[in-house]
Each structure stands twice: as structure tokens, then as C-alpha cells.
Structure 1
């Protein structure tokens, strides 16, 4: 019997270690922001597979490399949901946010100047429980008028 117990314990430990490793690997894959290049328009879709906001809606994040002094326009439009656009700094704080654009629509448009070089997050989300659907996102570096 002593041999059976010794043979059984390592199998249980292997299962526990495998379970912990699998759980850790799944956690890493849960949050995976999409790399974004400034100047390009992205057509995408927001769904219940994205990040829950805790307010009934969902969010999707994009990574963008920005430099100190960059002047940005971030434009988010959707016919499917009331959009909100948020720019998060490398430390996670909110740099700028916009709910409704200046045209009175539920699309979002924000302008901001970057004060520190780094990797920022552009967060696309729906307002409240307005759900999801297709959208277009564009991050543009503005050039000064000469």
C-alpha cells in the first residue's frame, strides 16, 4: 500500500500544477490590447466578448505609441451604439475622454496634446447599456499650420 500512495501523490500534484499553469496562461490571454498605428482607420466591432465596463456595456483597447508633443485627433463613429472614446496614459490614468462629438451626434471626437512619450491605450466603449456593434476608429497626429 505504501507504494500506491507514493505513486498517487505525484499524479495529484501534477494535476494541481497543470491546473494552476493553465489558469495563469488563460489570465494572460484575457487582456490583449490591439496594436494601432496612427493615421490608419480601423473598422471593428464591439461585442459581449470584449471587456465588461461594469455599467452594462463593453470596451475594446488599442495600443498606440505616442511621443511628447504629439497633437492628436481621435475619432470614433458608430451607427450601432452610443460611443465613448478614452485615452489612457502609460500609467493607466485618463488623459482625455469624449462622449458626444461637436456635431451633436452620439459619435466621439477628442483632441489632446501628449506630454510624455510612451505606450498609450485608446479605449473604445459603449455608453451604459447601449450594447455593441460595428464602429470606425481613427487616431491622427495633427501637424501644426505654418
Structure 2
């Protein structure tokens, strides 16, 4: 009788630790995903700064890399985003709170490979400003200027 009781409890001993292991793996994977993607927050919508795009950033699948910045915008905001780099051909993209592309610019009006984007915000939320290099043009230093434009009165 004792051997049957031991055998009957054996599967529970195996299943319980396996369940804990599976929960541990899922939790670890979730934390790893959060660490892998965390856009850099912009605290003000009128800022100009320098940064560096590197091979440690988001691979685009086209040989280039991307770096994301999050910014809180309000319905009716008029936004200007200016991206310039002497190291790579830049592209600027604005992603809506649901992840769709709202606006994108490859080459600015000055004939250079710098990017300039103007748009009006249709809904309040957290947006992503994505800085990336065109194709395999690489990595390097860039300047990003994000400005919330004021309406003319």
C-alpha cells in the first residue's frame, strides 16, 4: 500500500515543479521583452539634443538601425520634428499610440539627406518618434529637434 501511495503522488511532484518552471520562464521572458524595447521618454515637446544611432539599437531588417523616443501629445498639437546627421541618411517616422505610421520623411526640403516632418495631432496619447537610417547607410551621431508649434494669433 505504501508503494502505491508513493507512486500516486509522484506525478504531482513532477507536474508541480514543471508548472513553476514554466511560470518562471514566461515571467523572465516578459521582463526581457520590456528591457529589449523601451523608447526613450522626451519630457518636453520643445527640445533639441544630440544622440547616437548604433548597432545596439533596433535592427530595421534593411541593414540599418532605429532608435525610438516616446512623447505625450494632445489633440490639436502642431508638431515639427527635425532630424539631421552627417553620418547617415536619416528617416524620421511618427507612430500613433496604436503603432500605425502617421507621418514619415526621408529627405528634407533643403536637398540634403536630413529629415523634416510637420503634422497636426488628431488624438491625445503617447506617440513614438522613430529615428532611423536609410537602408544600410549605417550608424552615427545625429541631432533631433522636436517642437510643438504655437498657433498664430
Judge which range, 38-47 or 14-23, deviates more: 14-23
Q: Unaligned stretches of 5+ in structure 1?
A: none
Q: Indicate how the Cα distance of structure 1 residues 17 and 105 shifts in structure 2: closer, same or farther if over 3 A, else same.
A: same
Kindly indicate whether residue 81 of structure 2 is the aligned counterpart of residue 74 of structure 1: yes
RMSD of aligned Cα (Å): 2.1
| Alpha-carbon separation, structure 1, partners of 2:149 and 2:115 | 17
- Give the Å deviation of 1:115: 1.1
Instruction: Spell out, residue by residue over 1:13-58, the C-alpha distance to the aligned partner (whole angstroms, 9 max, x if none).
Output: 6555433332221112111001112111121111111111111111
Q: Which residue of 2 aligns with 1:103?
A: 110
Q: Indicate how the Cα distance of structure 1 residues 69 and 12 shifts in structure 2: closer, same or farther if over 3 A, else same.
A: closer
Q: Which residue of 2 aligns with 1:35?
A: 41
| Alpha-carbon separation, structure 2, partners of 1:91 and 1:23 | 23
- Structure number with greater Rg is 2
| Alpha-carbon separation, structure 2, partners of 1:95 and 1:13 | 43
> Normalising to structure 2: TM-score of the pair?
0.84
Q: Which residue of 2 aligns with 1:65?
A: 72
Q: Which residue of 2 aligns with 1:20?
A: 26
Kindly indicate whether residue 137 of structure 2 is the aligned counterpart of residue 130 of structure 1: yes
Q: Indicate how the Cα distance of structure 1 residues 103 and 23 shifts in structure 2: closer, same or farther if over 3 A, else same.
A: same
Find the residue that maps to 1:26 and give its secondary structure: helix
> Normalising to structure 1: TM-score of the pair?
0.88
Pairs aligned (count): 146
| Alpha-carbon separation, structure 2, partners of 1:28 and 1:80 | 29
Q: Indicate how the Cα distance of structure 1 residues 83 and 20 shifts in structure 2: closer, same or farther if over 3 A, else same.
A: same
Contact 1:38 1:138 in 2 (8 A): no
| Alpha-carbon separation, structure 1, partners of 2:84 and 2:47 | 14
